[in-house]
């Protein structure tokens, strides 16, 4: 029996005491507060069996625990006690216990070394992004990922729902977005026909509810004004040239974007935001804003007229004008906008409200700049192991991209959400960080799992655990046990070198 508790992400502190907690069969979970009933039921369902449960885990409300997501766990010879001031804290404590049960319940018996655990997160935003436009992932797979990230104390599921290769959600008044924009031909085959793939309102609500009981907030992304091929194929009048357009089956950055001189784009945005408001209770909406090409705006009479009206000098400035309006439209609906770091470019004439959150992906530079301007920041630098579609190592045998080099588990673990260049007074603006899986080359859930794990385990520790408590050698040892847990949960995972 092990004298060490192996948990990912690493808690704030573990103090070992004398003896072992021993339980024949699985423990019974009890709570002294009705507030924790949902968390206790979910945990019990995760270990459903017909055996009689004797040893007890007590979940107790403790207002003295200051951090909303924090918990204390005491493992004694007689019982396990989990204390928290909120249901979120109890949930995280139970998920730590879940990890321990998965790995330490053997031959019908659970044995844990007695210990006292104190735990709470370093950052409030601990996220994972899944691109469901380039590849349409099933609802069961999405639920599996949400359950897994919550077991790692991650609390944001960023759902990328629109791009050049497909529009994946219904919008009232714009039926062609799903009738045409959700269909593309797979040109790898001569016999394949077009297939419409999008999530219904019922399915989206199902995902949001599933995530909510796991204390994960679902943050939707709809992309404006670039990555718009699926929109333009559905409504050609929203483009500068009028088409012909198609839902792209190629991957890359395309010339055709929404026409900045056509006010109808704001009608589409309004309808999209209304649909998001109806389906997603999250306070945040991601509006994209990355990789916009401006060639069409340079040639388009409507866009040139708009430039004149706004007294602007270059087409690039039109994006900041559009972004400012989108941010305001979301604010009117009680939502806070998130944008990729390009939304700050050429924004001198149309400054974004300070409430706009910047997601830094082109390295950490965008986040450094944004925090200096007073914006909250989410780090997801593609140069520091946050892009999970990148190869683990630069070999022909590994799947994935190589845009900014490979991304080893060590690189993901070493990602620091608060880079040294950020001023001390601006560091509080860093909400946290996330890992992103773009799906251009990831065309199956099992391949996605291989790309995600265990790099997301490493990122979870980078955003939960204090900088002082992070040690890669120690993480690597705990990961050996954790890989066994992932195996027992049916997760396909990368098993090669970590660095």
Which tokens go with 401? 């991209």
Asked if domains 13-119 and 125-488 share a fold, the reply is no
CA 34, CA 13: separation in Å to the nearest integer? Answer: 28
pLDDT at 445: 97
Q: Is 13 helix (H, G, I), strand (E, B) or coil?
A: strand
- pTM for this model (two decimals): 0.97
CA 208 to chain centre: 13
Q: What pLDDT score does 51 carry?
A: 66
For the annotated catalytic residues, the residue numbers are: 163, 227, 291
C-alpha dist (Å) from residue 348 to 310, 323, 362, 408, 498: 13, 13, 20, 38, 43
Q: Where are the alpha helices (DSSP H) in 108-163?
A: 139-151
Domain 125-488 has CATH 3.20.20.80: yes
pLDDT score recorded for residue 2: 66
Over the chain (499 residues), the average pLDDT of each successive run of 10 is: 88 97 92 89 84 82 96 97 97 98 93 98 98 97 98 98 98 98 84 83 98 98 98 98 95 96 98 98 98 97 97 95 98 98 95 96 97 97 97 95 91 97 94 98 96 98 97 98 98 97
Q: Half-sphere exposure of 240 toward its Cβ, with a 13 Å CA cutoff? A: 24
The burial of 457, by beta-carbon neighbours within 10 Å (0-12 exposed, 13-18 middle, 19 or more buried), is given as buried
Q: Are 195 and 136 in contact (CB under 8 A)?
A: no
User: What is the reported pLDDT for 52?
Assistant: 67
| 54-69 per-residue burial string, b: 16 or more CB within 10 A, e: under 16 | ebebbbebbeebebeb
Name the superfamily (CATH) of residues 13-119.
Chitobiase/beta-hexosaminidase domain 2-like (3.30.379.10)
| Domain map (residue ranges) of the chain | 13-119, 125-488
Tokens representing residue 373 in the block? 């301007």
pLDDT of residue 53: 73
Tokens found for residue 31? 């709570």
Q: What is the pLDDT of residue 434?
A: 98
DSSP 8-state symbol, 401: B
Peptide bond into 348 cis (omega under 30): no
Round to whole Å and give the CA distance between 212 and 217.
6
Nearest to 203 by CA among 185, 225, 178, 233: 178
Instruction: Give the closest residue to 164 by CA, choosing from 230, 77, 256, 225.
Output: 230
For 466-493, b where at least 16 C-beta lie within 10 A, e where not — what string?
A: eeeebebeebbebbebbbebbeeeebbb
């Amino acid at each position: 029996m092990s004298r060490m508790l192996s948990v990912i992400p690493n808690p704030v502190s573990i103090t070992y005491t004398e003896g072992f907690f021993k339980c024949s069969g699985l423990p019974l979970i009890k709570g002294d507060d009705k507030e924790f009933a949902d968390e206790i039921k979910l945990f019990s369902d995760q270990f459903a069996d017909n055996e009689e449960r004797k040893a007890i885990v007590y979940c107790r409300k403790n207002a003295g625990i200051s951090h909303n997501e924090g918990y204390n766990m005491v493992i004694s010879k007689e019982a396990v006690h989990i204390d928290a001031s909120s249901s979120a804290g109890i949930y995280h404590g139970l998920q730590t216990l879940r990890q321990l049960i998965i790995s330490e319940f053997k031959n019908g018996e659970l044995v844990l070394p007695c210990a006292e655990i104190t735990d709470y997160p370093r950052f409030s935003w601990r996220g994972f992004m899944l691109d469901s436009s380039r590849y349409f992932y099933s609802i069961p797979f999405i639920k599996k990922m949400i359950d897994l990230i919550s077991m790692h104390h991650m609390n944001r599921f960023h759902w990328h729902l629109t791009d050049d290769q497909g529009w994946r959600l219904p919008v009232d008044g714009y039926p062609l977005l799903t009738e045409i924009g959700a269909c593309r031909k797979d040109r790898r085959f001569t016999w394949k026909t077009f297939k419409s793939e999008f999530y219904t309102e019922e399915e989206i609500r199902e995902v949001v509810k599933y995530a909510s009981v796991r204390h994960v907030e679902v943050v939707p992304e709809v992309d404006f004004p670039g990555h718009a091929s699926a929109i333009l194929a559905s409504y050609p009048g929203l483009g500068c040239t009028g088409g012909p357009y198609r839902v792209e089956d190629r991957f890359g950055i395309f010339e055709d974007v929404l026409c900045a001189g056509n006010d109808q784009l704001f009608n589409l945005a309004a309808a999209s935001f209304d649909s998001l408001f109806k389906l997603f209770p999250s306070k945040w909406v991601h509006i994209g804003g990355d990789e916009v090409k401006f060639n069409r705006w340079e040639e388009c009479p409507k866009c040139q007229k708009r430039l004149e009206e706004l007294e602007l000098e270059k087409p690039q400035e039109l994006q900041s004008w559009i972004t400012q309006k989108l941010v305001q439209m979301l604010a009117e609906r009680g939502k806070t906008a998130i944008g990729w770091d390009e939304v700050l470019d050429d924004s001198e004439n149309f400054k974004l409200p300070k409430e706009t959150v910047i997601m830094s992906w082109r390295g950490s530079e965008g986040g450094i700049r944004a925090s200096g301007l007073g914006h909250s920041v989410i780090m997801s630098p593609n140069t520091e192991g946050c892009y999970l579609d990148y190869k683990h190592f630069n070999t022909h045998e590994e799947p994935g991209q190589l845009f900014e080099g490979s991304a080893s588990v060590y690189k993901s673990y070493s990602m620091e959400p608060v880079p040294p260049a950020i001023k001390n007074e601006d560091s509080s603006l860093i909400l946290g960080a996330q890992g992103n899986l773009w799906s251009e080359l990831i065309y199956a859930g099992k391949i996605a799992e291989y790309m995600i794990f265990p790099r997301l385990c490493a990122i979870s520790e980078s955003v939960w655990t204090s900088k002082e408590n992070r040690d890669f050698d120690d993480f690597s040892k705990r990961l050996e046990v954790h890989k066994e847990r992932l195996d027992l949960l049916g997760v396909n995972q990368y098993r090669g070198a970590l660095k």
